[in-house]
Amino acid sequence: MTKTMYAGMELDARCGRCKMETKHRILSITEGIPEKLICTNCSSIHKYKPERVIAERSSSSRAPSQPKAARSGARSASASPSNFQQLMISEQAGTKAKPYGQGVAWEEGMWMDHPSFGLGKIQHKAGRKVNVLFQAGLKTLIAT
């Protein structure tokens, strides 16, 4: 049985910035395949690379590259929560977010405006609960 992936879901993937396998949260997904991930360790945003691509690289005949020496003073800016919020707003593409309420019939893909967590997208609905991806992370809320 294949595991269904959705935005907000966490998975293990190699982070180019951390130079190791870390937990990542899926930011965007197309046809069940993640496109962009955010590292929960360093907050960098990068493309999803399937495990088979990583395995092919490690089994190739070229010698493994050594990590770059630490640069003095030159450091790229990490993805801040404001960048995350901008990604969420651009994905919203003009649709209106409904204010949160337990009486609202929430469905996957709908946008929610929560008084505490702010803008969020419904990722998964199971019974009376919904998983919503907010800037603060994936939250489970009561719904009808």
Q: CB–CB of 84/36 below 8 Å?
A: no
pLDDT band at 59 (very low <50, low <70, confident <90, very high): low
**Which phi and psi angles does 109 have, rounded to 5°?**
95, -15
∠ CA 7-9-11, rounded to 5°? 125
Q: Under 8 Å CB-to-CB from 23, ≥6 apart: which residues?
A: 10, 11, 12, 39, 40, 41
What pLDDT does residue 93 have? 67
Query: Which residues on adjacent β-strands are paired with residue 125?
Result: 130
pLDDT band at 6 (very low <50, low <70, confident <90, very high): confident
How far, rounded to the nearest angstrom, does the alpha carbon of residue 115 sit from its chain's CA centroid?
A: 22
- 78-116 pLDDT, tens digit per residue, is 444 566 666 766 776 667 788 888 788 888 888 888 888
Provide the 3-class DSSP secondary structure of residue 92: helix
Q: Name the residue among 44, 6, 4, 5 with its Cα closest to residue 24.
A: 44
Domains of the chain with bracketed CATH: 1-64 (2.30.30), 86-142 (no CATH)
- The encoded tokens of residue 78 equal 């990490």
Is residue 139 pLDDT above 80, yes or no? yes
